Amino acid sequence: MALSRNYTAGTLWIEAVRDVEVDKQVQQTWNFEKFKLMDRSIITVISQFIGMMLNDFMDTLIITPTSDAVNLATAGAGGTPVRIFRTAVTHLAIESTSLTRPCSPKSVPDFLAFDTTDLQNRTSIAFTIEGESIKFKKPAALAYGTLTLHYPRLPAALTAVGDGVDVPDGPATEIVILKLKSLIRERYGLPKRDYSNEMAMLVRALYDNYAVTTSNEEIKAQVEALR
């Protein structure tokens, strides 16, 4: 379920183009491109603030491996993709019913070097993400059991005007709208507008919303990164 209760793709777009005047030809063009522009603005904003917004995007998946790899493209419910937020992948955790502690995340080189015959690894399951797969290693005597994957998910993609916007209501959605306004002006060669003051107020409100302490310098840096 989308996080916003106030916005659909349709209403988000209407809000973003409220102060934009273009000819019919541009309007026809953006009807084909608007969902990509909205998705781009959402991913840009959430990527930038995922550290404080992480709990909004954590999801859980139960898997029972039948081999040493799980294909993320088909591991979701009904064979759907598991869309992991790769910029926040360090927050991914996997638990096994065969272990009393979480599985061990590894970089690809460390995973390849993981020795399943080493005594210190006799009760360990190692994993890494490579491409569209989660790969596992374990000692021969240890079963994978049932695995619970806790992962940061990507916001749901928008494909129709009635789709809910997968961003929490409040400052986050308002930042997305301002970012979308900038992307629209850039994409269609429209006169630029400086949204820095409005963006700064919204970014500060976002930090306040998540009870995260910040500084004027950090707010300025975040606004600059959103240009």
pLDDT at residue 190, rounded to an integer: 87
pLDDT in tens, the chain (227 residues): 789 999 999 999 999 998 887 777 777 788 889 999 999 999 999 999 999 999 999 999 999 998 999 999 999 989 999 999 988 889 999 999 999 999 999 999 999 999 999 999 999 999 999 999 999 999 999 999 999 999 999 999 999 999 999 999 999 999 999 999 999 999 988 888 999 999 999 999 999 999 999 999 999 999 999 98
- Rounded to the nearest angstrom, the gap between the alpha carbon of residue 7 and the centroid of all alpha carbons in its chain is 18
Q: Is residue 34 part of a domain?
A: no
CA angle in degrees (0–180, nearest 5) for 158-161-167: 45
In this structure, what is the dihedral angle of CA atoms 79, 84, 89, 91, given to the nearest 10 degrees? Answer: -80
Contacts of 56 (CB under 8 A, 6+ apart): 3, 168
Instruction: Report the helix count and the strand count for the chain, using DSSP H and E.
Output: 6, 7
Q: Is residue 208 part of a domain?
A: no
Which 3 state secondary structure label does DSSP give 173? helix
pLDDT at residue 32, rounded to an integer: 87
Type of residue at 195 = Y
Q: Is residue 19 part of a domain?
A: no
Structural domain including 75 reads: 57-152
Which 3 state secondary structure label does DSSP give 152? strand
* Separation between Cα atoms, residue 7 and residue 166, nearest integer Å: 9
pLDDT at residue 20, rounded to an integer: 82
**Total number of domains constituting the chain:** 1
Q: Is residue 64 part of a domain?
A: yes
Q: Is residue 178 part of a domain?
A: no
CA angle in degrees (0–180, nearest 5) for 134-137-139: 155
Secondary-structure breakdown of the chain: helix, strand, coil percentages, each rounded to the nearest 5? 45, 15, 40
Q: Is residue 2 part of a domain?
A: no
pTM value is 0.90
Q: Is residue 21 part of a domain?
A: no
pLDDT at residue 46, rounded to an integer: 97
CA distances (Å), origin 140, targets 91, 121, 146? 28, 11, 16
Residue that is written with structure tokens 């953006």 in the block: 30
DSSP code of residue 50: H
CA distances (Å), origin 86, targets 45, 91, 162, 222? 15, 10, 27, 20
Residue that is written with structure tokens 């049932």 in the block: 146
Three-state SS across 60-93?
EEEECCCCCEEECCCCCHHHCCCCECHHHHHHCE
Q: Six-digit token pair at 1?
A: 């379920």
